[in-house]
Structure 1
């Protein structure tokens, strides 16, 4: 049986390190596999363990020390802000999941999908089943994606329960865990030999038209955009930090699509706003040409702060790449809540071991 004081997390889609920063904050060792070079450079600048490569080229035998697994597959095919290849292929993806459960090779089938990233949502299942088959099952599995992926997580839950895991799935709302945005995520937590659980809210859920001090007095108030940044909307959190267009490119004028932009301007025009009085960052100066100084611009640092990345986490690559990394990341504060609840036993055992 694995020593519960030993935790070696493997993050299949490391990105710029949202999950990994949270794990490190909790004192846990973590290594991330990531294919995007700029994201790998961001990780290395932060001192995070990094393997630059494609998760499909590896398997559990390549990381024999890993005790627990994290996975946030690319969200673009399933995001409502994307082109929808994953949403259209949902039934096919669920069929492939059932084939994986039967230990069938699905690689040729995945190659027929319109967007090759769609099939990556099944990579965590491949890894978990492969680890079981070599006799080194992952103790904890934590997966995160956009809400439209919840049916995939539920299908995986059914498969993993048959393999001996206890599994929970659900939607988590970022503002209920102190993140200054209303980002919702579909999360799966699986545990072998122990019960699985999702974190309970520490902050109130944002509801339009409800005052910040209203609601359950046991919970903390949600955090507004202005509280998170020092400027912006005072009566609500920011909307999801997607920082992208429908085609997947960055749109630094807002924190999402056109609906997000309309909300920002509406709140500003209604006076529920703290102005940004800072000197315009150099990387945003082109946006202010032609007398467009009234535009609301969310800088890289602002987007990162809304995702709860620490200010010293320096994103690498072009400005486009930096926005992409931030928009695709799991908010570290939300990740910490998931890990802390899912791995409560290991964290407590580790603390006692260190104290002894």
Structure 2
């Protein structure tokens, strides 16, 4: 992906480019929807998983790539590294938020902020600006843009929205709850959807919100019940998950979830959660395959490389990504077909699923 290097024939056929692609959350969704996608990723372990899953991957630094490398891509997506913005990280991104927002304003004026980014305390903080660079540098506007990050990044997405709207995009952004879309865990993500020349709208919930102490049959009857851990894993025996994290500010007060509830947010520490009540011949921790299921990856997704738990925790759940990507294309995902994708073999669904994407109501 160096300057002057012509795109390969395969890359010239790519419809979507996924920045900071990780092990493939958005890529899995794209394949289910029948969209050809190439992911840019520099982590060798995530690239090992992508290779095992037969995902098109350009291993390298997003900052060294450019839109011209993917001349036919009409969709831009990305989930920049979240470590400096998440509450579990070092907080450098949250402390530098005003600086980052000033960089967005400078980029809107077509100013080069490369030297300024080098002055940030943590280089990962500035990576959140790369999708905007791509959108600005594209020879022609993308048809659709999808971005996701931790909730603390929502102000950055809102700043992006103002820039993109000035360039002819319809934009919607906000915080989505994963259980609202059938993901069997409680997780919040800041999502941006942009459509050039068309209004954009975040996907409507398909499932009920989980609330502590509320029965899954309660709530808006027009929506499906939220999905539980036991349902997602196919376990009939009742069990309890004891979180690796404390609650209420007390690190010793470990949170607990029952098998008929959604999982806690799946993070890179998911393998440290303890399972109580699981049969004695089974491990008392989630396996990689089981953690992947809670993220809605296919049951046979071929995790590879080191620190698989971290790869799983870093990924956007493919089920949520499918709803978001479909909405960015002006469509909606069929819930029943999506259920089948999540439960079926990856090899059976990788080539796309007829009927998964339909016209929005």
Q: TM-score, normalised by structure 2?
A: 0.80
Unaligned residue ranges in structure 2 (runs of 5+):
1-12, 241-257, 334-353, 356-361
Partner of 2:261: 236
The structure where helix makes up a greater share of residues is: 1
Partner of 2:146: 142
Partner of 1:272: none
Partner of 1:253: 272
Partner of 2:81: 74
CA distance in 2, matches of 1:145, 1:312: 26
- Say yes or no: does 1:103 pair with 2:122: no
Partner of 1:290: none
Q: Are the counterparts in 1 of residues 323 and 332 from structure 2 also a CA contact under 8 Å? A: no
- Say yes or no: does 1:153 pair with 2:157: yes
Q: TM-score, normalised by structure 1?
A: 0.81
SS of structure 1 residue aligned to 2:271: coil
Q: Are the counterparts in 2 of residues 175 and 204 from structure 1 also a CA contact under 8 Å? A: yes
| Structure-2 change in CA distance of 1:346 and 1:223 (3 Å) | closer
Measured after TM superposition, the shift of residue 242 of structure 1 is: 1.0
SS of structure 2 residue aligned to 1:252: helix
Measured after TM superposition, the shift of residue 7 of structure 1 is: 7.6
- Say yes or no: does 1:301 pair with 2:308: no
CA distance in 2, matches of 1:98, 1:71: 20
SS of structure 1 residue aligned to 2:17: strand
CA distance in 2, matches of 1:121, 1:278: 45
Structure 1 segment 185-334 matched on structure 2, within 5 A? 185-229=189-233, 230=235, 231-232=239-240, 233-244=258-269, 252-254=271-273, 275-277=277-279, 279-280=281-282, 296-318=284-306, 320=307, 322-334=308-320
Measured after TM superposition, the shift of residue 53 of structure 1 is: 0.4
Counterpart among 125, 129, 133 of residue 126 in structure 1: 133
Per-residue CA deviation, residues 208-229 of structure 1 (Å, 9 max, x unaligned), is 1111110111111001122222
The structure where strand makes up a greater share of residues is: 2
CA distance in 2, matches of 1:124, 1:185: 17
Unaligned residue ranges in structure 1 (runs of 5+):
1-5, 245-250, 255-260, 269-274, 282-295
Partner of 1:173: 177
Counterpart among 23, 48, 51 of residue 16 in structure 1: 23
Q: Are the counterparts in 2 of residues 20 and 32 from structure 1 also a CA contact under 8 Å? A: yes
CA distance in 2, matches of 1:104, 1:14: 27
Measured after TM superposition, the shift of residue 108 of structure 1 is: 1.0
Partner of 2:43: 36
Q: What number of residue pairs does the alignment pair up?
A: 304
